[in-house]
Each structure stands twice: as C-alpha cells, then as structure tokens.
C-alpha cells in the first residue's frame, strides 16, 4: 500500500468538498477551504495507491494548530492511514515550531475518540450542544495532542 500526502490542487478541492458533503452532510465549499489555507491554514489530501483516500484541513497559529476537519474515506479506514497522516502533520508542525494540536469531536464519535486517544490526545474541555446532526444536538469534547509525542509514532 502506497500512501502519499499532497497539497491539494483545484480539482482535489472539489473532491474534498464532495467527500465532506457525502460523509458529514455539510457544505465545505471550495472557497471556504481556500480561505482556510490562505489565512494560515494547511490542507492536505491523502492518496492510497493513487486514489483519493482522505483529507485534513487545519488552522495554524504560532503555538497551536486546530484541526477543522479530518476524514479517511470508509474503504480506507482502519489501515493506519489516519495515524500516518497525523504523524506527517506533527512533523510539519514541529518544523514550524508549533507544539500542540487542538480539535473538537462529538462525544458520540466513538471511532474518532479512540483514534485520538491512541495518539495520546487528552480531553481539555467540553462544549455543550456544539454539534447538530439531523436536528439532534451533541456535546463536543475539546482534545489536545502534543506534536512532539505524535511525530514519534511508527507508521503501520
Ligand atoms: C477517525 C478516523 C480519522 C481514523 O482514521 P483511520 O485511518 O481509520 O485510523 P487508523 O487506522 O490510523 O487507526 C489508528 C488507531 O486509532 C484507533 N481506531 C481507529 N478507528 C477505530 C475504530 N473504528 N474503533 C476503535 N478504534 C479505532 C485504533 O487504536 C487504531 O489502531 P489499531 O488499528 O492498531 O487498533 C476515521 O475513522 C474517519 O475518518 N472517521 C470519520 C470521520 C471522523 O470522525 N473524523 C474525525 C472528526 S474530528
């Protein structure tokens, strides 16, 4: 299995936008993604054996990065790709002098909670009723990870 992490082209932005819509059911338009990237953000796509297999969009400030969205497409999940992406991202951040990664995740998103926990993320806060899916609201945990620690994980 060959996994690559690439800066998205304009066509890739369309793939990201479509994947967001079909998986999370929410618009994440191309212009919004471009804005994130322009305003100190970082977007990346993952290809596995040449096929689009996932993406991540983040905002980066001086000491912290915030993951806005992260998705590994269902056919590619549980193969170590998400972890490889986080290792890749952590190395990128360390090179920029950024130490911490923050994100929100629904208290009901078991797979994501397990995923981040396996990379040493800790819960540092709770945002009540943060998400709304099909008119059902759920709390979000705020998780914090250490880039130095994450970069030392081994790729599967
Ligand atoms: C969460 C997500 C990014 C994980 O990516 P992935 O490539 O499937 O994860 P990996 O294969 O790298 O898993 C690494 C570790 O995370 C944990 N993990 C990942 N998926 C899991 C699951 N479904 N159940 C339990 N543990 C899981 C395991 O500890 C796993 O290690 P192991 O396979 O050696 O046991 C992916 O499932 C996904 O995109 N989910 C839908 C979107 C989402 O929830 N995004 C996050 C929102 S912030």
pLDDT in tens, 82-122: 999 999 999 999 999 999 999 999 999 999 999 999 999 99
CA of 85 to the centre of ligand 1 (A): 11
CA of 90 to the centre of ligand 1 (A): 17
**Residue 156 domain flag:** no
Give the mean model confidence (pLDDT) for residues 27-42: 84
CA of 124 to the centre of ligand 1 (A): 20
Q: How confident is the model at residue 156 (pLDDT cuts 50, 70, 90)?
A: confident
**Residue 140 domain flag:** yes
Name the residue range of residue 34's domain: 3-151
CATH number at residue 80: 3.40.630.30
Chain centroid, CA 35 distance in Å: 17
**Residue 137 domain flag:** yes
Helix (H) / strand (E) element for 19: namely helix 10-24
Q: Is the pLDDT of residue 144 over 90?
A: yes
**Residue 75 domain flag:** yes
**Residue 49 domain flag:** yes
Q: Is the pLDDT of residue 39 over 80?
A: no
pLDDT digits (tens, 9 = 90+) for 114-141: 999 999 999 999 999 998 887 889 999 9
Give how many domains the chain has, as a whole number. Answer: 1
**CB neighbours of 40 closer than 8 A, spacing ≥ 6?**
59, 60, 61
* Residue bearing the CA closest to ligand 1, atom 16: 115
pTM above 0.85, yes or no: yes
Ligand 1 lined by 115 (C-beta under 6 Å): yes
In the chain, DSSP assigns E strands to 3-6, 41-48, 51-60, 64-72, 100-106, 122-133, 136-146
**Residue 124 domain flag:** yes
**Residue 128 domain flag:** yes
């Amino acid at each position: 299995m060959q996994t690559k992490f690439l800066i998205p082209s304009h066509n890739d932005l369309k793939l990201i936008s479509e994947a967001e819509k079909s998986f999370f059911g929410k618009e994440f338009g191309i212009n919004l993604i471009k804005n994130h990237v322009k305003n100190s953000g970082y977007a990346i796509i993952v290809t596995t054996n040449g096929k689009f297999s996932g993406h991540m969009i983040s905002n980066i400030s001086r000491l912290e990065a915030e993951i806005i969205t992260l998705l590994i497409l269902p056919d590619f999940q549980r193969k170590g790709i998400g972890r490889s992406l986080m290792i890749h991202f952590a190395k990128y951040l360390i090179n920029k002098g950024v130490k911490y990664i923050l994100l929100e995740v629904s208290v009901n998103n078991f797979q994501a909670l397990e995923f981040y926990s396996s990379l040493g993320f800790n819960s540092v806060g709770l945002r009540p009723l943060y998400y709304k899916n099909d008119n059902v609201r759920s709390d979000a945990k705020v998780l914090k990870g250490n880039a130095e620690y994450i970069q030392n994980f081994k790729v599967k």
